[in-house]
Chain A
Amino acid sequence: MSTETPAAAPANFDLFSFLAKFAPLIFLLVLMGVFALLEPRFLSPLNLFNVMRQVSIYGLLAIGMTFVILTRGIDLSVGSLLAFAGLVAAAVAKGGFESRFAVGTAAEAAGYGWFLAMLAALAVGVVCGGLQGLAITKLKVPPFVVTLGGMSAFRGAALLFAGGGPVSGFDDAYRWWGQGYIGPIPVPVVIFAIAAIIAAIALRYTRFGRNVYAVGGNPEAARLSGLDVDRITLSVYVIIGFMAGLGGFVLSARLNSAEAVAGLTYELTVIAGVVIGGTSLFGGIGTIFGTVIGTLLIGVLLNGLVLNNVSSYVQQIIIGVIIVLAVAFDTFAKSRRKRA
């Protein structure tokens, strides 16, 4: 009842905040255990690398999405932008815009090379992301609406650009970005890891990262503290655009083909991963570490379901339910924070 020193509080263990912090990680490990028992193939190096490679594309988008959601925003256009950027990259690699209707043929794949292709994809991503950011900050249209528009517009642009068919067959240097290895590790995984580390450092240790948290935590207070709220908001949409461009390029390299229907419903998977990783849709709270774990969790879940022959329809149902549960948990955690 009485303590010696009133100031020294008992080091009581807060189960809730412990769970909130590590729940995704624990859940990930449990899930992997279950799948390993159900289907021994799951733990084979081949499959694990496959999962990782698949997850890497989601992961790149999820990193960008973390910045956006931290500022209380959302981006529904990532899947469409990824497809559009991938097509542009493919067309550039295949020798410019003339050959973009060369459906399914492996024409002379010298073109301008992978380097120009990647630059083109990134440029498309940055410009489209920037345009959305401008619409949000200057025209004051809510992010949900702007990126819903973007989702439709970029998909349309991709379809128009592809003229209805995929662009396939790249040279080795191009395909290396999606299919190659550095040591034993697939290249997309390396790209994802590097991007995650840079993003985590930027969020944690730089002024820009602080500003992102502040804008999401309380936009009015951020403005009155002298932050350039519009510029910060614009930058997060440029970042996610960049990530979509990069993702589009890597995906086309991995599939050795770019098509207009790439990345359909990616926005759902990506947002689910970010939210499961503990980033709050109310803004201001979240980490890249959480996003990585959340995205891995989704990737493992999808892969495990496929290995166990669960139909893709059922997979969609499961993803839907998980999103709602994750947000319910977020809302619950928020109300707890408020009451506490």
Chain B
Amino acid sequence: MASGVERGSGPPLLRMTGIRKSFPGVLAVDGVDLEVAPGEIHALLGENGAGKSTLLKILAGAQLPDEGSIELDGRPIEILSPHDAQEQGIVTIYQEFNLVPTLTVAENVFIGREPTRGGWIDWGRMRRETRAIMDRVGLALSPDRLVSDLSVAEQQMVEIAKALAIQSRLIIMDEPTSALAEGEVARLFAICRDLQAAGIAVIFVSHRLDEVKQLCDRLTVLRDGQLVGSAAVADVSIEDIIRMMVGRDVERLFKQRNVHRAGEPALRVEGLHASGDPRDTFATQLRGINLEVRHGEIVGLAGLVGAGRTELARAVFGADRIDAGRVLVEGVPVQPGSPRRAIAAGIGLVPEDRKQQALFLALAVRLNLSIAALDRLCGRLGFIDRGAETAMVEEYRERLNIRMPSADVAVGNLSGGNQQKVVLARWLALQPKVLIVDEPTRGIDVAAKAEVHQLLYELADSGIAVLAISSELPEIMTISDRILTMREGRLTGELPIADATEEKLMQLMTMGRERAA
């Protein structure tokens, strides 16, 4: 899609030169240049921790650079605060959401810019305009819903809507698609092309390189905080891009799982009914779920947003109350309604939303990683064996290639992808019998994603039953031995991997109810 404005004709919209930013112990961005033309969709790529978000935060005024200059339309500008950036027409959709959970959709979209009439907030107009913008992003959400009740994907769409509501010249999107399913991604791309047609430039960060090929005009690659280079997307292959990101040749990345011997049933779910998180009035109701995952097997759970996959994972894990039915691990019923008992029974859950549900952002990586496995690290009196703990952290740092200055930095200071790896490590360290992973590779770079897949294979080979949820059909089709589809809180089909095609899955996901009936 290289339909963008010709480069070289006129000055670039944005030019960043020699940007440098260090944090205690890390040189996050080391002399990077970036040029973006008007109406261009520019991909910013790199491995986890390469410095993408940091560079963009500098542009958004959320962080101040140590060195370097920024020009807009050839004029040097100084961006000292997010407010300055907005004045210049630079709007950001952050990787970690910036919505206020206790406010409504409309209040969030117009936060700080509420339309007024005679000094009072004009609620009618605010709702009307919010509804119009939500229509544009294709999400029929009531403007009055609380953001805390929304799914991650819906929150992402609200973030996007919020950015669209501001007059802008340059929109920064830091991994907007990692929380979205295919349909929504398509809608986002359509929006990007509209923006492009209106001469608005977009900087787009994603770890899904096929998206980059599909959407972007040019790309810039960072590695370890340094600039590797820029290129027109049409001139490079995905393999080229990966080589630029990783700095070496990579053999075929995504391997299908080949051998597998499913053993005895590890997880059984019988007649499960649940109404989801009580705080979420719009949670999907689960209605009569029966399923089984055997030792050594990876079962994929496919479905559209709102199909109830996350609700199912949470109910099985005891995070939400269940209304009927039961969960058994190796034939023994698990007492419902408490993650603690589920964990004791051998179930682990890597939740969908790492920031709200998994991480202790202000606390050390060490604590975050070992918290669920402390029982094994403690002697009598509950003293933690720090040596063993350090060894555990070191083991997973190596196995998952987690980039961090030390085990004692706050986990919130790691890059998004590395945070996700810490969450994965927590559950691996627990050595469960059944591991449920909800979007396990969200925000993880290509190479690391292949590593995570490999890790899931190893887990399954060692006898763990894995139930995997992913919004990326190709990912589900790569890692699963068997795929279950869901729609509106029911299971609608089951396909062995040999029979699974995207078409068949889509069909089961969208209209499976009739077929299953």
Which A residues form the contact surface with B (CB < 8 A)? Answer: 1-3, 6-12, 14, 17, 205-208, 210-211, 213-214, 217-218, 220-228, 284-285, 337-340
User: Closest CB of chain A to B334's CB: distance in Å?
Assistant: 13
One of A1, A220, A285, A339 near B357 (C-beta < 8 A)? A220
Inter-chain contacts of B339 with A (CB < 8 A): 223-226
Task: Please count the residue pairs between chain A and chain B whose beta carbons lie under 8 angstroms apart in the complex.
Answer: 112
B250: Cβ under 8 A from any A Cβ: no
- Asked if B356 and A220 sit within 8 Å, CB to CB, the answer is yes
- How many residues of B are in contact with the other chain, CB < 8 A? 50
Given contact pairs A207-B383, A225-B358, enumerate 16 new A-B contacts (beta carbons under 8 Å): A7-B27, A9-B24, A9-B27, A205-B384, A210-B374, A213-B367, A217-B360, A217-B363, A222-B360, A223-B319, A224-B319, A225-B371, A226-B343, A284-B363, A338-B412, A340-B63
Asked if B382 lies at the interface with its beta carbon under 8 angstroms from chain A, I say: yes
B121 near A: Cβ within 8 Å?
no
The yes or no answer to B400 lying at the interface (CB within 8 A) is no
A221 pairs with B359, CB closer than 8 A: yes
> Does the CB pair B361–A218 fall under 8 Å?
yes
Of the candidates B67, B340, B359, the one whose C-beta lies within 8 Å of that of A228 is B340
CA distance A213 to B360 in the complex (A): 9
| A224-B358 contact, Cβ under 8 Å, with A6-B27, A6-B226, A340-B63 | yes
Out of B23, B31, B362, B383, which one reaches A2, CB within 8 Å? B31
B239 to chain A, nearest CB (A): 24
A214 → chain B, closest Cβ, in Å? 6
Asked if B517 is an interface residue, CB under 8 A from chain A, the answer is no
**Chain B contacts of A227 at CB under 8 A?**
340, 371
For B23, give its contact among A1, A8, A340 (CB under 8 Å): A340
Chain B residues near A221 (CB, 8 Å)? 356-360
Most buried by A among B18, B344, B359, B362: B362
Tell me, in angstroms, the Cα distance from A258 to B131 when the chains sit together: 66
| Complex Cα–Cα for A3 and B378 (A) | 43
Complex Cα distance, B23 from A337, in Å, reads 12
A287 CB, nearest partner CB in chain B, Å: 13
Which B residues are CB-close (under 8 A) to A10? 22, 27
In the bound complex, CA of A337 to CA of B226 (Å): 25
Q: Let me know if B62 and A226 touch, CB within 8 A.
A: no
CA distance in complex: A208, B381 (Å): 10
Q: A206-B382, A224-B349 are in contact. Are A9 and B26 (CB under 8 A)?
A: yes
Q: Chain B's nearest CB lies how many Å from the CB of A290?
A: 15
- Check: B112 CB closer than 8 A to any chain A CB: no
Q: Give the distance in Å from the alpha carbon of A3 to the alpha carbon of B20 in the complex.
A: 12
Q: Within residues 328 to 354 of chain B, which ones have a CB less than 8 A from any CB in chain A?
A: 339-340, 342-344, 349, 351
Closest-CB distance, B316 to chain A (whole angstroms):
13
A12 and B383 in contact, given A214-B360, A285-B362, A339-B62 (Cβ under 8 angstroms): no
- Nearest neighbor of B18 in chain A, beta-carbon distance: A1
**Cα-based distance from A221 to B382 in the complex (angstroms):** 21
| Contact status A9-B22, CB under 8 Å | yes
- Which interface residue of A9, A205, A285 has the most chain B CB atoms within 10 A? A9
Given contacts A206-B383, A224-B319, A226-B372, contact A337 B363 (CB under 8 A): no
Interchain CB contact under 8 A, B374 and A207: yes
Taking CB atoms, residues of chain A closer than 8 Å to B31 are 1-2
**How far, in whole Å, are A213 and B405 apart by their CA atoms in the complex?**
22
Whether, in the assembled complex, B217 has its beta carbon less than 8 Å from a beta carbon of chain A, the answer is no
A328 CA to B227 CA in the complex, in Å? Answer: 40
A131 CA to B363 CA, complexed, in Å: 30
Interchain CA distance A202-B25 in the complex, whole Å: 29
Residues in A neighbouring B359, C-beta threshold 8 A: 218, 221
Is the pair A217, B361 in contact by a Cβ cutoff of 8 Å? yes
Residues on B with C-beta less than 8 A from A338 are 412
Closest partner residue, chain A, to B348 (CB atom): A226
Q: Are A339 and B63 in contact (CB under 8 A)?
A: yes
Can you list 7 A-B pairs, Cβ within 8 angstroms, ordered by A? Answer: A8-B27, A205-B383, A206-B384, A207-B383, A214-B371, A222-B360, A223-B319
